[in-house]
Amino acid sequence: MNTRILFTDLDGTLLCDDNTISRGNREAIDAALAAGHKIVAATGRPLPSARIQTERLGLNRSGCYAITYNGGLIYDLYRQETIYEKTVSIETALVLLKEASGRNLHIQTYSGTHVLSCHETPELQKYSAHALLPYKILHDPSAELRDAPHKLLAIDYNDHDRLLTYQSEVIEKYSDELTSFFSNDHFLEIVPRGIDKGFAVRWLCDFLGIPVERSVAAGDAQNDIAMLEAAHIGAVMCNAFPGIREHGNYVTEADNNHDGVAEIIRKFILC
């Protein structure tokens, strides 16, 4: 059997706008797994949030994997074990937290159970509710940040230029250690150098022994670009952010609320 593998983003792609999955998408995933293919949820979400969401979606069966933290941690959802991870050093993370705090810019990182931030902000509250994760305030980050994080996330819902300034004036000083990119205009993702969803596509295909020529990626946002370009078929959602379509080689007819991923599965996985 020629096993195929689907890498699908969650928000704006597999998930409907109300954070649920459509019946058509669920049935198509069931058919793909029953036929022996692999399904990978590829997200910028932290692992604990991704595990909650994938379990709700039924993606905890054999053949299901998760790319989390935009590629910083790859997880076997069936065996419940980490198969790859790379982290930002605690020393660098502390500098990034301090610099953002000095600019009154919201920034957060993660533990195995919580979203972590130095200040309680509306951005933290909004993110925590969406990610289905509680948050914890770091009153003394140097003492309380005990584990090297897989990523940090700076958020500004009102002024994109503040994130650009932080990126150029702070993060770029650590270009030998860090990679940064936007997952949307409000979210500046900060991960270890070399990490993105495209790296994760290539790594997982190699790990599973599946040629990249049998891979399909589905996405809608800036942090999906590397994944869309790395996979053999880059399927862009018709509801994608501006500028994303040019990075794929297929655009769906249906959006994320109307079985767009099922369309991709029928056309490129169950073919």
Residue 256 has pLDDT above 80, yes or no: yes
Burial 174-203 (b: 16+ CB within 10 A, else e): beeebbbbbbbebbbbbbbeebbbbbbbeb
Q: Are 16 and 237 in contact (CB under 8 A)?
A: no
Report which of 7, 69, 13, 71 is spatially closest to residue 38, judged by C-alpha positions. Answer: 7
- Structure confidence at residue 150 (pLDDT): 98
Contacts of 164 (CB under 8 A, 6+ apart): none
Q: What is the mean pLDDT of the chain?
A: 97
- Structure confidence at residue 134 (pLDDT): 97
The domain 5-86+195-269 is classified under which CATH number: 3.40.50.1000, 3.30.2420.10, 3.40.50.300, 3.40.1380.10?
3.40.50.1000
CA distances to 40, 63, 166 from 59, rounded to whole Å, are 9, 9, 37
Domains 5-86+195-269 and 90-192 belong to one CATH topology: no
- Determine the Cα–Cα distance for residues 187 and 228; give it in Å rounded to an integer: 19
In the sheet where 152-155 sits, what is the strand order?
135-137, 115-117, 106-110, 152-155, 187-192, 178-184
Q: Are 5 and 239 in contact (CB under 8 A)?
A: no
User: CATH assignment of 90-192?
Assistant: 3.30.1240.10
CA distances to 136, 140, 258 from 197, rounded to whole Å, are 27, 32, 25
pLDDT tens across 16-74, in order? 999 999 999 999 999 999 999 999 999 999 999 999 999 999 999 999 999 999 999 99
| Tokens 């949820």, located at residue | 41
- Determine the Cα–Cα distance for residues 193 and 87; give it in Å rounded to an integer: 9
- Structure confidence at residue 18 (pLDDT): 93
Residue 1 has pLDDT above 90, yes or no: no
- Cα 88 to chain centroid distance, Å, stands at 16
Strand partners, 5: 38, 215
- Structure confidence at residue 68 (pLDDT): 98
- Structure confidence at residue 264 (pLDDT): 98
Percent of the chain residues topping a pLDDT of 90: 100
Phi, psi of 256 (to 5 degrees): -70, -20
Domains of the chain by residue range: 5-86+195-269, 90-192
- Structure confidence at residue 216 (pLDDT): 98
Mean pLDDT over residues 192-200, rounded?
98
pLDDT tens across 99-135, in order? 999 999 999 999 999 999 999 999 999 999 999 999 9
Q: How confident is the model at residue 188 (pLDDT cuts 50, 70, 90)?
A: very high
Q: What share of the chain is helix, strand, coil (3-state, %, to 5)?
A: 40, 25, 35
Residue 157 has pLDDT above 90, yes or no: yes
Residue 229 has pLDDT above 80, yes or no: yes
